[in-house]
Amino acid sequence: RELVKGAMKLLPEIAVSQCEEPQVVRYEMGDFFSWHEDKVPPTALENGGQRLATLLVYLNDVPDSGGGATTFKDFPVKVVPKKGSALLFFPAFRDGEPDGRTVHAGAPAFEVKWIAQMWIHERPYKPVIPPG
Tell me the per-residue pLDDT of 37-69, one tens digit each, with 9 for 90 and over.
Answer: 999 998 889 999 999 999 999 999 998 888 999
User: Residue 35: inside a domain, yes or no?
Assistant: yes
- pLDDT value at residue 7: 64
Contact 40, 126 (CB under 8 A): no
- CATH label of the domain that carries residue 112: 2.60.120.620
Q: What is the pTM of this model?
A: 0.87
- pLDDT value at residue 128: 73
pLDDT tens column, 90-123:
999 989 999 999 999 999 999 999 999 999 999 9
* 68 phi/psi in degrees, rounded to 5: 80, 10
Split at pLDDT 50, 70, 90, the class of 126 is confident
pLDDT at 24 > cutoff 70 = yes
User: Residue 112: inside a domain, yes or no?
Assistant: yes
Q: Containing domain of residue 83, as a range?
A: 2-121
Instruction: Give the list of residues 6+ apart from residue 129 with CB closer than 8 angstroms, or none.
Output: 21
